[in-house]
Amino acid sequence: MKATELLQRGLQALSHPLPDDAADQLLAYLALLEKWNHAINLTAIRERERMVPQHLLDSLSVLPWILPHEHTLADIGTGAGLPGIPLAIARPDLQVTLVEPNQKKVAFLRQAKLELGLNNVQVEGRRVEEVSGQHQVVISRAFADLPDFVSAAKALLAPGGRMIAMKGVVPYEEFTRLPVGADTTVQAVEVPELDATRHLIMVRFPDASALPVGESATAATAAPAQASSGEAEGSGLPATGQRAVP
């Protein structure tokens, strides 16, 4: 099946409202990614038909958990702009900051911003520790270790904001190394056209006095708590697919 057909079918399965030109913009981004990938190593996936589910649809699967009132997002270690650029295309009202220290990849990100006309994207070609500002959502699918992500990027989180780590299997052991006071929710996610396990690990800090990463976590914060449907409704998050540690 061609990439265009895969994308159209995947977007229908996601059933999330998108701008009229979103599909064309996503395909233009994919073409740019494929072109630049010949010169610099942006992704190990070379075939456009595989890029659609593994890059575009995987990135867009997080859309239901970027809430309507959240308008600022930082994508840490964005690499080729994933998930930040697809999210910026899908949500023109979302101000997306792409954080990437690799200067070759930064050159691609700036060209993609220019060619796609993404006025809601800002590129930060620096290490995350050197970036300033606060964002309602801080997201990454690049960090292998959840506590490392939280430690490196927590300073960019606005009060009341959320950190979202895009993962395959749930890294339960890593929850024990999160800061005391971290409120963690695990969300199972289905990616159209992709037969793989995907989860979002969402971390909030209701108590501003949360200790730095490395302090001993209490039993209450060592694992994600089960959220009731009422709690999910009150937070504005979808109530389905939430997972908890027994």
Domain residue ranges of the chain, discontinuous segments joined by +: 3-243
CATH class of 3-243: alpha beta
pLDDT at 126 over 90: yes
CB neighbourhood size of 193 (10 A)? 18
Rounded to an integer, the average pLDDT of 202-210 is 76
Amino acid 245: pLDDT: 37
pLDDT band of residue 229 (cuts 50, 70, 90) is very low
Identify the weakest region by mean pLDDT among 160-164, 166-170, 203-207, 211-215: 211-215
Mean pLDDT of the 66-76 span: 97
Instruction: Answer whether residue 10 shows pLDDT above 80.
Output: yes
Tokens describing residue 16:
């999330």
Over residues 131-181, the pLDDT tens digits come to: 999 999 999 998 889 999 999 999 999 999 999 999 999 999 999 999 988
- Residue 52 makes CB contacts below 8 A (sequence gap 6+) with 3, 6, 7, 10, 30, 193
Burial grade of 111 (CB within 10 A; 0-12, 13-18, 19 or more): middle
Is the per-residue pLDDT at 227 higher than 90? Answer: no
State residue 144's pLDDT score. Answer: 84
Percent of the chain scoring above 70 in pLDDT: 84
Task: Tell whether the model's pLDDT for residue 207 goes beyond 90.
Answer: no
β-partners of residue 184 are 203
Through-space distance between the first and last CA atoms of the chain, rounded to whole angstroms: 41
pLDDT for residue 106 is more than 70:
yes
Beta bridge partners of 163: 138, 203
Query: Which residues fall within 8 angstroms of residue 229, CB to CB, at 6 or more apart?
Result: 239
Model confidence at 216, in pLDDT bands (50, 70, 90)? Answer: very low
Q: What is the pLDDT of residue 220?
A: 36
Q: How confident is the model at residue 213 (pLDDT cuts 50, 70, 90)?
A: very low
Q: What are phi and psi for residue 22, nearest 5 degrees?
A: -60, -45
The dihedrals phi and psi of 29, each to the nearest 5 degrees, come to -60, -40
Distance between CA atoms of residues 72 and 237, nearest Å: 17
| pLDDT score, position 62 | 97
Beta strands in the chain (DSSP E): 72-76, 95-99, 121-124, 135-140, 157-167, 183-189, 198-204, 242-243
pLDDT of 225 > 60? The answer is no
Residue 82 in contact with residue 141, Cβ under 8 Å? yes
**pLDDT of 230 higher than 70:** no
Opening angle at CA 143, ends 140 and 146, nearest 5: 95
Euclidean distance between CA atoms 10 and 3, whole angstroms: 10
Dist. CA 200–CA 206, nearest whole Å:
19
pLDDT mean over 38-63: 94
Say how far apart CA 106 and CA 121 lie, in whole Å: 13
